[in-house]
Amino acid sequence: MGEHYKKKAWIDPSKRARQALDTILETTSEEAIKNEALQTSVDSELHKEPLVQKTENRAQSRVLFITRDVSVLEDRSMLQLHLVSLADTFSEIHVMVLCTATEAKKSTVRLAKNVWAYTTSVRFWSSQMGAALALARAQLLFTDGFRPDIVVALDPFESGLAGLQIAQKYEREFQVHVLENMFDPEFLGRDKRNKWRIRTAKHVLKRATSVRASTVSIMTQLQERFPHIADISLLPRHYDIQRLIQIAEVPQAADPFTQYVFKLLYVGKLDKESTLFRALDASRSILVSKSIGMLVLGDGPYLKEFQERARILGITEQVVFQKDVSKLVEYLAISNVLICTDTTEASDEIVIKAAAAGLPMVAARTPLREDLFTDGESAFLCAPEDTLEYSQKLVKFLNSSSLRVQFRERARDIVRSRLQEDPEVYKTAYRNSIEAVYADGLPGEINTSPKATKASGYAEEVPDQPLATTPA
């Protein structure tokens, strides 16, 4: 009976995952790392210098990004476009995608001349860490050392743990990006594995010395919980304003919501901080007309609650919920007015993007919005919790097309003059943020003509060659 019980416990995926994670966390302890270092061969110790290439103006690092986001494998996804845009910023970009066999379309994909993506393609979640180490060894380890100079984990969970192990094993600089608020009480219930992800993140962040956060809120909480982190700051932001302005000036694809003559747009994450309930309440008076619709772009744990609120208000047929936030530009182009009742940093970005795209707005007051826009001239700004004020200003927009034109032009002028952002400036800031992991500045020029002789599909002078036999 006892043997039968033990067998069942091992078959249970949650128990197996927990045991696997316990093993990983134990083997990445300081004591285990030191013991492993004592067994390292002399040959490998002689080839651990950073492999930095030097261009005409500056040295360029080779970076390994690690992510759980499989969208990087999808053509023209936001993450793929972002990483490919950095191709001329770093000497080489390697992307390790932690995914299952069913998620991996190809084992190796060349995304650009010097950008490659590799997948772990494991059957079970608990096998990710071993697969990550094996993949790093197979694809990135040469006779003259480990190729990347910097390892960057795009989350502190599976990617963070894999990045920590790889960076420690090959003595490379390590940085963690925290893009999701794991301190939100609701994070735990979003996925059955999140309990272990939180534990993993704590393990990783206790050992990390360089961390980047996506918002001030996340950064503040990280500073409070992990005061030892010496290098912690916000990731640079890029609004891609020029692209939004250009898109707004050319004819758009067919509008899928032609049943509505006038369309309101709300964009935001549907969580406990969302104020979509206020936007629905404020819009109710004009949504009684069948020719007016409200497009809600966003997803989150409170989606069903907001759908139920629309039903209670009697406006279900007038409210369209769309989860795919990658369609933001399309929705900005087909809408008539943005209603933004949120006051978060993320909603500030939405407001800026809407202004760049020429979409008039009714928005809650925030310091940024009051600094950029003048109420009644370039935007309608409201007291954040004043539902009636939102409603009254929406009616003004509905009744005056000339007012919408005025706001559109003035808001775009403000964005052009005050927020116009050069993509090159952003890429430089992003590179500098990552390379801040070098405490004493960039390492010197070392081995600029490496001979790649590792038998894994590499060719001589690999920077201009695919890093595997499988073509993109």
| Angle separating helix axes 2-11 and 13-27, nearest 10 degrees | 80
What tens digit of pLDDT does each residue of 311-328 get?
Answer: 999 999 999 999 988 888
Does residue 445 share a domain with residue 348? no
Final residue belonging to a domain, choices 401, 419, 437: 419
Number of C-beta neighbours around residue 431 at 10 A: 18
Q: What is the DSSP string of 274-298?
A: --HHHHHHHHTTTTTSTTEEEEEE-
In a domain, 89, yes or no: yes
Count of domains forming the chain: 2
In a domain, 145, yes or no: yes
30 pLDDT exceeds 60? no
CA distance 466 to 112: 9
| Angle separating helix axes 194-207 and 158-170, nearest 10 degrees | 30
In a domain, 471, yes or no: no
What tens digit of pLDDT does each residue of 175-190 get?
Answer: 999 988 898 887 888 7
Does residue 391 share a domain with residue 372? yes
> For all residues of the chain together, what is the average pLDDT?
80
Contact 132, 165 (CB under 8 A): yes
Does residue 160 share a domain with residue 61? yes
Does residue 293 share a domain with residue 189? no
Does residue 435 share a domain with residue 413? no
In a domain, 472, yes or no: no
pLDDT of residue 181: 86
In a domain, 333, yes or no: yes
Does residue 442 share a domain with residue 407? no
DSSP state of 399: H
In a domain, 201, yes or no: yes
Does residue 232 share a domain with residue 367? no
Does residue 432 share a domain with residue 318? no
In a domain, 454, yes or no: yes
The confidence band for 417, taking pLDDT boundaries of 50, 70 and 90, is confident
CA distances from 184 to 11, 44, 187, 208, 235 (A): 31, 43, 5, 21, 20
Q: What is the DSSP string of 182-237?
A: TTSGGGGGG-TTHHHHHHHHHHHHHH-SEEEESSHHHHHHHHHH-TT-SEEEEPP-
112 pLDDT exceeds 70? yes
Task: Specify the residue for token string 């067998």.
Answer: 7
Task: Specify the residue for token string 């309930």.
Answer: 277
Work out the end-to-end distance of the chain between its first and last CA atoms, rounded to an integer number of angstroms. 52
45 pLDDT exceeds 90? no
Higher model confidence: residue 206 or residue 471? 206
Angle at 351 between CA 348 and CA 352, to 5 degrees: 90
Determine what percent of the chain is predicted with pLDDT higher than 90. Answer: 48
460 pLDDT exceeds 50? no
In a domain, 2, yes or no: no
Q: What is the DSSP string of 95-146?
A: EEE--BTTT-S-SEEEEETTEEEEE--BSSGGGHHHHHHHHHHHHHEETTEE
* CATH code for position 376: 3.40.50.2000
Q: What pTM was estimated for this model as a whole?
A: 0.65
What tens digit of pLDDT does each residue of 198-237 get?
Answer: 999 999 999 999 999 987 788 999 999 999 999 999 888 7
Does residue 305 share a domain with residue 344? yes
DSSP state of 299: -
Does residue 378 share a domain with residue 346? yes
Does residue 222 share a domain with residue 245? no
Question: Which of these ranges, 115-124, 244-253, 398-407, has the smallest mean pLDDT?
Answer: 244-253
DSSP state of 358: T
What tens digit of pLDDT does each residue of 66-80 get?
Answer: 999 988 988 878 789
- For 306, the domain range is 241-419
Q: Which tokens is 205 given?
A: 């962040």
Does residue 114 share a domain with residue 12? yes
447 pLDDT exceeds 80? no
CA distances from 134 to 169, 284, 446 (A): 12, 57, 26
